[in-house]
Amino acid sequence: MSVLCRIRVAVSVSVHHSSKDSGWACILHNRVKTFVAVEFAVYNSDNILDCNQPDTEDTVAYESNDGEAIAMVEESPSGDAPSHSNDSSFGMDCSPVLKVKSIFISSAILAAKSPFFYKLFSNGMRESDQRHATLRINESEEAALLELLSFMYSGKLSTSSEPALLDLLMAADKFEVASCMRHCSHMLRSLPMTTESALLYLELPSSVSIASAVQPLTDAAKEFLANKYRDLTKFQDEVMNLPLAGIEAVLSSNDLQVASEDAIYDLVLKWARAQYPKLEERREILGTRLVRLIRFPFMTCRKLRKVLACNDLDHETASKAVLDAVFFKAETPYRQRALASEDSNTNRQFVERAYKYRPVKVLEFVLPHSQCIVYLDLRREECANLFPSGRVYSQAFHLGGQGFFLSAHCNMDQQSSFHCFGLFLGMQEKGSVSFTVDYEFAARTKPAGEFATKYKGYYTFTGGKAVGYRNLFAIPWTSFMAEDSLYFMNGVLHLRAELSIKQPQPVLQL
């Protein structure tokens, strides 16, 4: 059975947007907000060929995979359906009609490719006994609809430009042709991507009804943005101008080149304050969209205390984030890895990024004197990347009001002329302040897995100075990195530094 589909092309209705809408958002909005009213008339194929055959000069024909043709003839706006038809509509639109096109198509092919047409042919037309159908669209949709009908017959597309493919994708979603949506998504992924196109693709899941069909495209857009803005310090100005969907894509990445999670927290607050000047709106966006992308467990304790006092965050939201972070920090390394593995497929709160400064776990004591115990874990691959002369720094920690850090090095042993692993303690602030610190370096060793002291001593620090050992384990680098090394537990090197401020001896009064 063939179907006479009459297409009425109407004048597009302009849509006004607020000044806050970006150009790409307006484009997508105009593509989505279109009016469609649908009717169909079913005729015997023979009657159509005998009684209403269009002139060949005015006909566009598509060939289906089954050998059945689809023909289209353009008429004037006054052209109506045959007098015996019962013209009705699923919607009303007062826009003036520019032109009318009649297309002869196979109801079986359309019903097989589209739930929209299947329901229409099997329920709507039979139950209402309609004799005529009109597909009313805006002028901007005409080319996409004709391309969609052609695809449903041939499975091929004649267009390859991004704007045309996007129009076709939206038309395919409207008429529930999932196969065409997937094909458009695949073709769009093969085109060179830009920041503008990636941001447009990120809006698709909220604009289409079959979100799964465009998921590979949105995933590719997220990956593009995450890779482009991997170095946040280099592209900070551009990142600050990204819309919400863009900043979410960047913050979801595990591979950001950033000093620490503290820096990401500061960036998120700066972005939110710039994009949402009103406190109520800012709290809403932070609480519902962005807080889940900040990995609070890898922030320093000093910064977590500031989170609790931050007015930009709802108190309940901030308290929960900090509490979860503190509980994670208190877990054993094994349990932390288990939580990270469980969380890797959800919101990644417990998944560590590739920070420039490695996170540390710090225990602070005030009595009987100022003391802290610092734990630094390095993965085997991180240690391997230090060869032949690399170094990696820890996040800063504080003792006696002064900032310190640990640094791991691959050094050349000056006496034996071989590479080795070194560990150093440095003072962060520069200035005239100086005081003496007792220190002890230790590492977990096999087979017991207990921390064993490697070196201890004391050092009088002044700003910018450091103390440490070029060959912490007194073995060559090859032995340190060997498969049977005593220092890697499940692929992780566990280091510990105990620091305390050396109390000055009281001066005896004579």
Could you list the pLDDT tens digit for every one of the 510 residues in the chain?
A: 444 555 555 444 444 444 444 444 454 444 433 333 333 333 333 333 232 333 333 334 444 444 444 444 444 444 444 333 334 333 344 556 666 777 777 778 888 898 888 877 776 555 445 545 566 778 788 889 889 989 998 889 998 999 999 999 999 998 899 999 999 999 999 999 999 999 999 988 888 888 889 999 999 999 999 999 999 889 999 999 999 999 999 999 998 989 899 999 999 999 999 999 999 999 999 999 999 999 999 998 889 999 999 999 999 999 999 999 999 988 877 788 788 888 666 668 888 888 889 989 888 888 888 899 999 999 999 999 999 999 999 998 988 888 899 999 999 887 878 999 999 999 887 666 778 899 999 999 999 999 999 999 999 887 778 899 999 999 999 999 999 999 999 899 999 999 998 665 455 555
pLDDT of amino acid 270: 97
User: What angle, rounded to 10 degrees, do the helices at 23-32 and 162-174 form?
Assistant: 40
Ranges of H-type helices in 23-177: 23-32, 45-51, 107-113, 115-119, 125-128, 142-154, 162-174
Coil, strand or helix at 374:
strand
Determine the Cα–Cα distance for residues 85 and 4; give it in Å rounded to an integer: 11
Helices (H) and strands (E) in the chain, counts: 19, 18
Q: Find the angle CA(417)-CA(423)-CA(424) to the nearest 5 degrees.
A: 115
Ranges of H-type helices in 277-332: 279-285, 301-308, 315-330
Task: For the chain, give the number of residues.
Answer: 510
Coil, strand or helix at 354:
coil
**Tally of CB atoms within 10 A around 257:** 15
pLDDT of amino acid 45: 36
Determine the Cα–Cα distance for residues 354 and 292; give it in Å rounded to an integer: 18
Token pair for 431: 């200035």
User: What angle, rounded to 10 degrees, do the helices at 162-174 and 142-154 form?
Assistant: 80
Beta bridge partners of 2: 43, 106
Determine the Cα–Cα distance for residues 52 and 132; give it in Å rounded to an integer: 14
Whose structure tokens read 């005239």? 432
Q: Are 406 and 495 in contact (CB under 8 A)?
A: yes
| Cα within 13 Å of Cα(151), Cβ side | 25
User: What angle, rounded to 10 degrees, do the helices at 23-32 and 195-202 form?
Assistant: 40
54 preceded by a cis bond (ω within 30 of 0): no
Determine the Cα–Cα distance for residues 101 and 338; give it in Å rounded to an integer: 63
Whole-angstrom CA distances from 193 to 29, 211, 226, 228, 236 are 20, 20, 13, 11, 21
Q: In 3-state terms, the chain is what percent helix, strand and coil (to 5)?
A: 40, 25, 35
Task: State the DSSP code for 206.
Answer: G
The amino acid sitting at 212 is: S
pLDDT of amino acid 96: 64
pLDDT of amino acid 262: 94
Domain architecture of the chain: domains with CATH: 1-155 (no CATH), 229-343 (1.25.40.420), 357-501 (2.60.210.10)
Using DSSP bridges, classify how beta strands 357-358 and 391-394 pair: parallel, antiparallel or unpaired: parallel
Whose structure tokens read 């996409």? 144
Beta bridge partners of 132: none
Determine the Cα–Cα distance for residues 458 and 109; give it in Å rounded to an integer: 84
Token pair for 297: 């467990």
Q: Are 140 and 37 in contact (CB under 8 A)?
A: no
Beta bridge partners of 5: 103
Q: CA nearest 487: which of 500, 467, 471, 498? A: 471
The amino acid sitting at 79 is: G
